Amino acid sequence: MKNKPESPHCSTCGSRHKSVFCSIESEEVKEIDNIKGCNFFDRGQVIFHEGNRVNGIYCINKGKVKIYQTGSEGKEQIIRFAKEGDIIGYRALLSEEPLSASAATLDDAVVCFIPKSQVLKIIQNNPSFNFKMLKILSHELGEAARIITDLAQKPVRERLAESLLLLKDTFELDEDKNIQVKLSREELANIIGTATESVIRLLSEFKKDKLIDIDGRNIKLINIPALTREANIID
Amino acid sequence: MKNKPESPHCSTCGSRHKSVFCSIESEEVKEIDNIKGCNFFDRGQVIFHEGNRVNGIYCINKGKVKIYQTGSEGKEQIIRFAKEGDIIGYRALLSEEPLSASAATLDDAVVCFIPKSQVLKIIQNNPSFNFKMLKILSHELGEAARIITDLAQKPVRERLAESLLLLKDTFELDEDKNIQVKLSREELANIIGTATESVIRLLSEFKKDKLIDIDGRNIKLINIPALTREANIID
DNA sequence: TTAAAAACATGAATTTTATCATATTTTTGT
DNA sequence: ACAAAAATATGATAAAATTCATGTTTTTAA
C-alpha cells in the first residue's frame, strides 16, 4: 500500500530556483502556495487532454512528462517533454485557445496547479517573470522550427539518432551513460514519426554498430560523437 | 526605371490597426515613427539571415514573406509565411538567441525596422502590447505543433492538400478562387518536405481530379471541401 | 530578340519506409 | 505462480516516395 505523500510547498520546492519561478518574491511565493493545488500521478496517467480548456498552468514538482498530439488516424505524436521544474499548459492559457496537446506522465509524478488568475497576476506585477515567459515561448518556437525541418528533411535513421541525443540533453545520462528516461519503442517511434518496427530495427543496428547498448528500455549512449554524425548535426 | 517610393508612416499605416500595434497610443506611435527605419525589397531578396543576431523587429508594411530554415543538406524548409501587418524577427529578439530562420520576400515588399530598445520599451510600458506578444508566440507554438504532427504522420498527398488550404487561409483567394500568392513548385515542396517532382505530379493529379485548376503558378481552388477531405482534416 | 538559364513535366528505376505475418519475450493482473 | 496481454523482434512483401534521366516550356538577362 502506498503512503499518501505530503503536498510539496513552493517555499521549500527544490526545483523552484532553476525554474521560471526563480525570481519570484517570497511574498508572491506564499500567495502561490496558498492558492495552488497539487496532484499525485502514477506512471502513464493523463494530466490534461488536448481540446479541453485550461484554467491555469501545471508545474512539475517531480517526474517526467510527455506532451503529445493525436493525429488524424489516432496516432500519438510526441511534441516535447517536460520534467521537474518545468511548467506545462501555459501555451493554451496565454493564447486563450483549447489545449493543442495532451500531457501524460512517464513515471510517478507530482504536479502542482496554479490558477489562471494567479498566473496573470504574476505576469502583470513581475516584469522579470513576464520576460521569462516571453523567453520560454520564443525559445520553444525555435526548437519547434528545428523539429519541423528535421522531420521534413531527415531520413528515419538520422531522426532516431537525433532524438536519442535530444533525450540525452533533456533528461541527461546516469553514471553508466544510460539515458535517464524509459520510453517504449512505440513512444520513440511517436517522437520521430515512424513505425514501431523501424525503431526496433534501427536500434538493433545502432547496437550492432556500437553506437548504443540496449537493455530493455534502457539505452546506453556509448559513442555520442558517432551518433551526432548519424544524426547529421553540424553545430 | 523605378520611382523611389515614399517611406510609410506608422500614423497613416493602413495595416497598423489589424496588427500587434493596434492598441498603441498615439504618443507611442510618434515615437516609433521617429526611430523606425524602412526598406524596400524586390522579389526574392533576403530580409534577414539565419544564424545572425537581430537587433530589432521587422514589421511588414507591404508584401509577402517566407520564413525558412536551411536543413543539413542545404535544402530550404519553409517554416511559415508573413504578410502586411505581421511582424517577424521577434522570436530571436525575445529569446536572445541567433535567428533560427531566414526571411525572404515573395514579391516586392516594404519592411520597417523597429530597434530592440524601442520594442522592449513598449513591452514594458504597454501591458496590452505585452499580452499580445505572449498571445502571438503561444498561438504560433500551437501552429508549429500541428505542423509537426502532420509532417510526422500524413503522407505527401495529404500534406500538399493541407498546405494549399493553409495558403488559402493565410493569403486568401481572389474573386476567381486563385490563391493570392505565387510560389514555385520547389517552394511548395519546401513547405511540405518532399521532392519538387512529387509536387508537380500531385498538382497534376489534383487538377485531373477537379480539385484545383493550374495556370503557371496560379492555383485555383475549385473544390475546397474535397481538398479538405484529401488533407484529412477533421475540424 | 535571342541565347542561356531556370522551372516545369514525365517515365523508369531505385531506395526508403510501412505493413503484414508470426514468433518470442516481458510485463501485468489475479 | 500463472495465464493473458502487451511489448519486442524479425522476415517477407508491399507501398510510398525519391532519384535519375531526359525533354519541354517559360523566364531571364545580355
Q: How far is CA B123 from CA A131, B11, B137, B141, in A?
A: 9, 19, 14, 20
Stretch (H or E) spanning A207:
helix A196-208
pLDDT over 60 at B2, yes or no: no
Cell output for A188: 520513440
Residues B113-129 have a mean pLDDT of 95
The pLDDT assigned to B92 comes to: 98
d(CA A203, CA A176): 18
CA distance A14 to chain B (A): 25
Is any atom of nucleic acid chain C found less than 7 Å from the CB of residue B124? Answer: no
Q: Report CA torsion sign: A9, A15, A21, A27.
A: positive
CA of A49 to C1' of D9 (A): 33
Which residues of chain A are within 8 Å of residue B75 when distances are taken between CB atoms? 153
Q: Going by C-beta distance under 8 Å and a sequence separation of 6 or more, which residues neighbour residue A74?
A: none
Beta strands in B170-227 (DSSP E): 212-215, 218-221
CA of A194 to C1' of C19 (A): 12
pLDDT over 90 at B179, yes or no: yes
Residue scoring higher pLDDT (A86 or B18) = A86
Nearest Cα neighbor of A89 from A56, A138, A116 is A56
Residues 39-78 of B with CB under 8 A from A: 69, 71-73, 75, 77
CA distance B121 to chain A (A): 12
d(CA A114, CA B123): 24
Judged by CB atoms closer than 8 Å, whether chains meet at B151 and A153 is answered as no
Judged by CB atoms closer than 8 Å, whether chains meet at A138 and B79 is answered as no
Which residues of chain B are within 8 Å of residue A232 when distances are taken between CB atoms? 72-73
Q: Rounded to the nearest 5 degrees, what angle is found at the Cα of B215, between the Cα atoms of B214 and B221?
A: 40
pLDDT tens sequence across B126-138: 999 999 999 999 9
Q: Answer for the pair A175, A182: CB distance below 8 angstroms, yes or no.
A: no
Stretch (H or E) spanning A4:
none
CATH of B155-231, one of 2.60.40.10, 3.90.1150.10, 1.10.287.810, 1.10.10.10: 1.10.10.10
Share of chain B above pLDDT 70, in %: 97
The pLDDT assigned to B1 comes to: 34
Cell output for A185: 519503442
The pLDDT assigned to A26 comes to: 83
Residue type, B127: P
- Alpha-carbon Rg for chain A, nearest whole angstrom, is 19
- Tell me the longest C-alpha to C-alpha distance in chain B: 56
Cell output for A129: 517573470
Residue scoring higher pLDDT (B69 or A31) = B69
The pLDDT assigned to A25 comes to: 85
Q: Report CA torsion sign: B150, B166, B96, A59.
A: negative
Residues across chain B: 235
- Nucleotide in closest CA–C1' contact with A204: D9
Which residues of chain B are within 8 Å of residue A94 when distances are taken between CB atoms? 134-135, 137-138
Judged by CB atoms closer than 8 Å, whether chains meet at A145 and B101 is answered as yes
Residue type, B233: I
Q: Is the CB of A79 inside 8 Å of chain B's CB atoms?
A: yes
Residues across chain A: 235
Judged by CB atoms closer than 8 Å, whether chains meet at B135 and A71 is answered as no
* φ and ψ at residue B42, rounded to 5 degrees: -80, 165
pLDDT over 70 at B96, yes or no: yes
d(CA B208, CA B202): 10
Residue pairs between chains A and B whose CB atoms are closer than 8 Å: 141
Residue scoring higher pLDDT (B1 or A59) = A59
Judged by CB atoms closer than 8 Å, whether chains meet at B145 and A79 is answered as yes
Each domain of chain A, given as residue ranges in start order, spans 10-151, 155-231
The pLDDT assigned to A5 comes to: 64
Give the CATH architecture of domain A10-151: Sandwich (2.60)
The pLDDT assigned to A167 comes to: 98
pLDDT tens sequence across B139-168: 999 999 999 999 999 999 999 999 999 999
Packing angle between helix A185-192 and helix A156-171, nearest 10 degrees? 110
* φ and ψ at residue A102, rounded to 5 degrees: -100, 165
Residue with the three cell numbers 515613427: B33
Long-range contacts of A120-129 (CB under 8 A, 24+ apart): A122/A24, A122/A28, A122/A32, A123/B131, A123/B134, A124/B127, A125/A28, A126/A23, A126/A24, A126/A25, A126/A28, A127/B124, A128/A23, A129/A20, A129/A21, A129/A23, A129/A24
d(CA A144, CA B96): 16
Nearest Cα neighbor of B56 from B37, B70, B75, B39 is B37
pLDDT over 50 at B60, yes or no: yes
Q: Going by C-beta distance under 8 Å and a sequence separation of 6 or more, which residues neighbour residue A92?
A: A53, A54, A98, A99, A100, B138, B142
Is any atom of nucleic acid chain C found less than 7 Å from the CB of residue A74? Answer: no
With a cut of 70, list the residues of chain A below it in pLDDT: 1-5, 235
Q: Is the CB of A235 inside 8 Å of chain B's CB atoms?
A: no
Residues B72-92 have a mean pLDDT of 97
Using DSSP, state whether A70 is helix, strand or coil: strand
* φ and ψ at residue B33, rounded to 5 degrees: -55, -40
**Chain centroid offset of residue A172 CA:** 13
d(CA A65, CA A150): 23
**DSSP assignment letter at A52:** S
Q: Answer for the pair B103, B136: CB distance below 8 angstroms, yes or no.
A: no
Binning pLDDT at 50, 70 and 90, where does residue B25 land? confident
